[in-house]
Structure 1
């Protein structure tokens, strides 16, 4: 039996990572976001912001990494694997910023199917930026809309996670996964 792959997604600074970390502390299998590690790897090679200097290469690296994560998730001997973002996120960001891309990105979204998707809303009160997150809140709103559109385009019905404490949001997700 292969585990169900559960995506937790949302725009920047919506609480995804905090929720994933808490789920992991509870003993659930989790796969973490890879964009920060790709950004840091590029910095080590002297590229300050790969997303800005070569957005298509950045998106290709993210896609390759998420395909690897998809395969990795299939190997866990558990019922569910929670994933911080999925392949449709890549297309959503490219669409959101008007980036052209080839059909391989679409094929990745069509060929690697997740079992469930949870979408976290933009939340101004918890929004913050850092060295890897440079979008402003208005861009975060636009990214949220693009994420929802992208997941729906590939046949998903994202479950909207309500605002609340990490425990409340986690409870919402875990109750929905059981059903």
Structure 2
């Protein structure tokens, strides 16, 4: 859907901060499925965690991303997603070797412009929900950097600048600024 815009890229690269800036500017946003799943699983003694059962985590992220799209379809205007279906399908395909990405990626489209946060070690921080190291984040970024163009998306690597400048960049590319 053309009004659904993906912010993806390197874990710890500033996606959530950018999403907050876009929200402050009045745009609709959808928070990252992975973080929401980790919080739910930790609160309920679940095992669909990336460091416990990564395939179950990826499958749950796919389901949540599909539900997020359904909810976002009820909203008018541009909706910015912190990650989404393609990220989750790419992870599942990487883990299981099953071609989830191509099928899901072609059935459920987003705006052709995708914004990737590059690896940025100076701002990368692990926490209770982000337990992987920087090298795993970079490997994920590299996979996504191949996945999105393979599905026909135009990738824009976000500059390593302040969050307001990043928001201006995104909105300018989309013709909103």
TM-score by length of 1: 0.89
Name the counterpart of 1:178: 175
Distance in 2 of aligned mates of 1:41 and 1:136: 22
Contact 1:7 1:86 in 2 (8 A): yes
Name the counterpart of 1:93: 91
Name the counterpart of 2:103: 107
Contact 1:91 1:150 in 2 (8 A): no
Distance in 1 of aligned mates of 2:165 and 2:120: 15
Measured against aligned partners, the alpha-carbon deviations of 1:38-88 in whole angstroms (never above 9, x if no partner) come to 11222233236622322221111100110111122222122x111111222
Cα deviation, residue 94, structure 1: 3.8
Name the counterpart of 2:142: 145
Cα deviation, residue 104, structure 1: 4.6
Name the counterpart of 1:19: 18
TM-score by length of 2: 0.90
Cα deviation, residue 101, structure 1: 5.0
Q: In 2 relative to 1, CA 122–104 (structure 1 residues): closer, same or farther, beyond 3 Å?
A: closer
Distance in 2 of aligned mates of 1:110 and 1:160: 22
In structure 1, runs of 5+ residues without a counterpart are none
In structure 2, runs of 5+ residues without a counterpart are none
Displaced runs of 4 or more, over 3 A: 101-106
Distance in 2 of aligned mates of 1:138 and 1:58: 20
Contact 1:14 1:122 in 2 (8 A): yes
Q: In 2 relative to 1, CA 25–93 (structure 1 residues): closer, same or farther, beyond 3 Å?
A: same
Cα deviation, residue 107, structure 1: 2.0
Contact 2:12 2:123 in 1 (8 A): yes
Q: Give the root-mean-square deviation of aligned CA atoms.
A: 1.9
Measured against aligned partners, the alpha-carbon deviations of 1:11-35 in whole angstroms (never above 9, x if no partner) come to 1110000000111011111111121
Pick the aligned partner of 2:128 from 126, 131, 134. 131
